Structure 1
């Protein structure tokens, strides 16, 4: 039966950018090949979610509708259906002293920070006068391409 809203699906995926760079995968061999296996974590696992329950990005959620177990497809997901466009208003600047007082450590490019309002950001630039923190999702503004294989479907109709 084709996948419908409310069905629970389990799938393998390879997520890549339009230039072919792999950024995430559930396939261990692909993760190893592309250096995506952090030493402290185990092998990646298939992704499971309920279709239409906002558990994954909208473009991936809608891409599986109509597919069946065993089917493979490639889904191209524009920013609007993924993590949104990059919003320049979500890039903030702090003076280095204020940043260090808030975060508890000196700024370094790539440092991940969590603001009191639950925003997460990364330090993207540092000068003598300012520290720039980007609070956009790291995949904002990117078109994402997913190669997916439906492994299992649990119908909501049962």
Structure 2
């Protein structure tokens, strides 16, 4: 029976960038092999579960499983528009260091993750005496993603 919108599915997956670097997976051994987790770390790995068409996952993956069947495997290429969007330079903001520290409650540092009052999440990408640069783009914005998926089950 083919997967249709409204079906609940579980997928095993390996997510890669176009160049082949793995950025996510449901398989611990793959994560360890690609340096995503230390061999002794407590991270858990499991298939992803979602309802097809409900917007629970990126659109490109959601749409790709329609028509697949339990046990089927596929490689799915998802362009930015169907994943996390194009990179938008307008989503990079600069703040005065004192203003930033007043909003966040600690001094800025490159790599620091922040949440704005409007719910946006961003990462500090540059700090100088005059400015703090925060990028509010999703970390995967502008990237084409490639997923190797296997349908574990369909309800």
Name the TM-score, length of structure 2 as normaliser: 0.95
Aligned length: 154
Matches within 5 A, 1:64-79: 64-79=65-80
Unaligned runs of 5+ in 2: none
Matches within 5 A, 1:109-120: 109-120=110-121
Runs ≥4 residues deviating over 6 A: none
The answer to whether residue 26 in structure 2 is matched with residue 26 in structure 1 is: yes
**Residue 40 of structure 1: CA displacement?**
6.5
Q: 1:78–1:144: 8 Å Cα contact kept in structure 2?
A: yes
Matches within 5 A, 1:33-52: 33-37=33-37, 41-52=42-53
**Residue 95 of structure 1: CA displacement?**
1.1
**Residue 76 of structure 1: CA displacement?**
0.3
Name the TM-score, length of structure 1 as normaliser: 0.94
- Root mean square deviation of aligned Cα: 1.2
Q: String of CA shifts for 1:95-141, please: whole Å, max 9, x gaps.
A: 11111111111111110000000000000111221110000111111
Matched residue SS, 2:154:
strand
Q: 1:37–1:43: 8 Å Cα contact kept in structure 2?
A: no
